[in-house]
Amino acid sequence: MHELNITDIHRQFKAGSLSVVELTRYYLEQIEVHHELGAVITVNPEAITIAESLDKTFSEDQSLSPLFGIPVLLKDNIDTQDKMPNTAGSLLLKAHFPTRDADIVSRLRKAGAVILGKANLSEWANFRSNHSVSGWSAMGGQTRNPYDTSRSPCGSSAGSAVAVTANLTALAVGTETDGSVVCPAALTGIVGIKPTHGTISSEGIIPIAHSQDIAGPMARNVTDAVSLLEVMRNETSNFSEHLRQDGLEGKTIGIVANQMGYHPNTDLVFHQAILDLAKAGAKITQCKLPHLKEISKLEYQVMLYEFKTDIANYLKTSSLPYSTLSDLIAANQTHAADEFPYFGQDLFVEAQSKGGLDDAEYKVALEASKRLSGPEGIDATLDACGADILIAPTMNPAWKIDTVMGDHATGGASMVPAVSGYPHITLPMGFVEGLPVGLSMFSRKDSESILIEAAYAYEQLTQHRRPPPLRIK
């Protein structure tokens, strides 16, 4: 069952050589075997019961819904109405049992998925401190990169990415405000899709900033990621028809020249990717994204303002003994010994100092950030260099986990598509000294179709995916 994809799983279901219960048990066993990776906070105590019910359903009518019997892990900031808390990795939320499924969870259940459990994450989705350690939470401890367990998986959807690449689940759901799907996907050698903002409901997800937050699929291949994306979306879509081996023919690919240089050997792998894209029929051109420093400063202000308001709105829907960000700050101080072993809550404190969403500073920052990243950013760049898609290395290779100095990211391609709300796909591009690195593809709003065509064609040509060197039970 190692490295099985959805097509293989469904084929075995139909042949009678595999049941949903057997598949679910396999992944539950792998989670236990590889507990040292710190990828999973909570296993769903109802997973086997759900699997048994699905096996019974299949024996009666032999039909397969899109994700029938497919185990899916959820990042532990997504509400589920069952026996699993939704903690955001914080001890403050360890008794937080939502009374409703998040919208995307309802869609997954309807599609026949088995909710396997909750994945570890960078606590509060990496929005508690500027000095955080990616993949660490007080609830789940440190998530580790299975290609080298001394190295970071990046964040904040660290557990989701590690569980997928280590074959602890078939699929996982991550969330992203800026980089939290694509960075861990790139550093663990899988596919991550950050969809166009607003096309997937954020209802029932612990927020950072409503103008950028979105959930995204994480999988070992483009096909499975697209299958999960179709189920998660608000609208009916048929992205599967864009899984074309000739998907790069006739497309103009723009190299974002000022989003390189994160690491010299990553650039060497990226140059080979450019040759492969041209080999598959793409025209290559040089581009440059403007306004990067301005966008970064504006985005920071927007996130501070929105977090203060958005987290209060979320808390009011819960039965937790907190109703404001100020309450969380005070409670963290009470639990400082467990919550602050490596870093504090400077982002919480800075967000608390902001006013409401009617403040002029917020309104100006929001408008400018969207304009500079979207119409005057990605759109203008595509027009200027005559490209259909922009590409860059997603991130530098995984750095050593460092609880003293924090993360050591040297650059990444996530910010502009994150702030604009435009779609972004990362997929395996190769390896740097045994560590995966990812290729980022992004384009205009609602351009998932052409990105999927390009990503699938590149994947089929190169086949860079290689599982980590873990023991298999």
Per-residue confidence (pLDDT) for residue 235, from 0 to 100: 85
Distance CA 193, CA 442 (A): 10
The residue behind tokens 């990605």 is 378
Per-residue confidence (pLDDT) for residue 187, from 0 to 100: 98
The pTM (predicted TM-score) of the whole model is 0.98
Distance CA 253, CA 284 (A): 5
Per-residue confidence (pLDDT) for residue 472, from 0 to 100: 58
Per-residue confidence (pLDDT) for residue 221, from 0 to 100: 98
Q: CA 275, 278, 280, 283: dihedral to nearest 10 degrees? A: 160
Residue 134 · residue 122 · CB < 8 Å = yes
Structure confidence by residue, pLDDT tens digits, 39-84: 999 999 999 999 999 999 998 877 788 999 999 999 999 999 999 9
Quick one: which of 92, 101, 47, 20 has its CA closest to 320? 92
Buried b (16+ CB within 10 A) or exposed e, 129-154: beebbbbbbbbbebbbbbbbbebbbb
3-state secondary structure 285-309: EEECCCCHHHHHHHHHHHHHHHHHH
Per-residue confidence (pLDDT) for residue 236, from 0 to 100: 84
The segments of the chain whose pLDDT lies below 70 read 471-473
Structure confidence by residue, pLDDT tens digits, 111-122: 999 999 999 999
Domains of the chain (ranges plus CATH)? 6-293+364-462 (3.90.1300.10)
Distance CA 162, CA 73 (A): 11
Catalytic annotation, residues: 75, 156, 180
Query: Can you read off the two tokens belonging to residue 164?
Result: 């997928």
